[in-house]
Amino acid sequence: MELLKTEKLSKVFGGLKAVADFEIYLNQGELVGLIGPNGAGKTTVFNLLTGVYEPSEGVILFEGKNVAGLKPYQVTQRGMARTFQNIRLFSDLSVKDNVKIAYHQHTSYGVASAIFRLPGFYRGEKEFEDKAQELLKIFKLDDKRDEIAKNLPYGEQRRLEIARAMAAQPKLLLLDEPAAGMNPQETHELMEMISWIRKEFNLTILLIEHDMSLVMGVCERIYVLDYGTIIADGAPAEIKANPKVIEAYLGEEVH
């Protein structure tokens, strides 16, 4: 079953066509990679999918319903969560609070319960506390739960960002260069973790990555984006051998 499908998705900034006729599909449970050279429009695609930008044209079907034109929080509430290329944590808040905020959309008590401290408040907060604790344990951050997010080492900040996205309880997880700035050891661990949470939560994942070898290792299918259009798609082995991809990454062969 197709979880996500885009049709003729385009975004124009002034005279620049950042993304043109972008068409992809993701089946339930797939791990798909989106690669491309610098400035190809990968992050723009993410911003279109998650509602940060409104598409100039085209439709985004998520579970068969068009989500193009919805606000980012509405898209997230439908079950699509993301991380950011440049980490965007709530940096002055504790690790635990970062995760709790993402649970907010599934909140179980109202403003009146909060203000008058009705029993619903205590029930709800306990639920938040337990869920956050459980999730942090999965991401091996539970011993740092009270630490301020900005004081975490870089690799753990990346991990916290994924944990926070998971707290939004998504069906589709969009990861924007999750391994950027990580050393090979950290990258390897991260990839193992992504594979694991995918199985554990029955998740569909769309992954942007710069590092070709890394994407080739974990993704089942890969889309290659260059100048805002898809130039190739297929299994990693096919992509590796595709002359168009090699050209986009390394330049044209000199005759």
Backbone angles phi, psi at 177, to 5 degrees: 45, 60
CB of 127 to other proteins, least distance (A): 10
| Candidate ranges 60-68, 85-93, 202-210, 240-248; the one touching other proteins (CB under 8 A) | 85-93
Residue with tokens 């062969």: 253
Query: Within 32-51, which residues bind other proteins (CB under 8 A)?
Result: 50
Does residue 53 touch other proteins according to CB under 8 A? Answer: no
CB of 117 to other proteins, least distance (A): 6
Classify burial at 202, counting beta carbons within 10 Å of its beta carbon; exposed 0-12, middle 13-18, buried 19 or more. exposed
Does residue 100 touch other proteins according to CB under 8 A? Answer: yes
Q: Contact with other proteins (CB under 8 A): which of 92, 146, 252, 253?
A: 92
Cβ proximity to other proteins, 172 vs 222, nearer residue = 172
Q: Contact with other proteins (CB under 8 A): which of 65, 66, 73, 220?
A: 73
Please calculate the CA angle 145-187-103 and round it to the nearest 5 degrees.
35
Does residue 97 touch other proteins according to CB under 8 A? Answer: yes
Cβ proximity to other proteins, 91 vs 183, nearer residue = 91
Does residue 193 touch other proteins according to CB under 8 A? Answer: no
Does residue 159 touch other proteins according to CB under 8 A? Answer: no
In order, the DSSP letters of the chain are: -EEEEEEEEEEEETTEEEEEEE--EEETT-EEEEE-STTSSHHHHHHHHTTSS--SEEEEEETTEE-TT--HHHHHHHTEEE--SS----TTSBHHHHHHHHHGGG----HHHHHTT-HHHHHHHHHHHHHHHHHHHHTT-GGGTTSBGGGS-HHHHHHHHHHHHHHT--SEEEEESTTTT--HHHHHHHHHHHHHHHHHTT-EEEEE-S-HHHHHHH-SEEEEEETTEEEEEE-HHHHHH-HHHHHHHH-PPP-
Does residue 72 touch other proteins according to CB under 8 A? Answer: yes
Does residue 71 touch other proteins according to CB under 8 A? Answer: yes
Cβ proximity to other proteins, 25 vs 53, nearer residue = 53
Does residue 65 touch other proteins according to CB under 8 A? Answer: no
Does residue 249 touch other proteins according to CB under 8 A? Answer: no
Q: Contact with other proteins (CB under 8 A): which of 12, 63, 85, 90?
A: 90
| Candidate ranges 56-64, 81-89, 131-139, 205-213; the one touching other proteins (CB under 8 A) | 81-89
The conformational region for residue 173 under phi > 0 = left, psi -120 to 50 = alpha, else beta, is beta
CB of 123 to other proteins, least distance (A): 10
Applying CB under 8 A, which residues contact other proteins? 50, 52, 71-73, 76-77, 81-82, 84, 88-93, 97, 100-105, 107, 109, 111, 113-117, 121-122, 124-125, 128, 164-165, 167-168
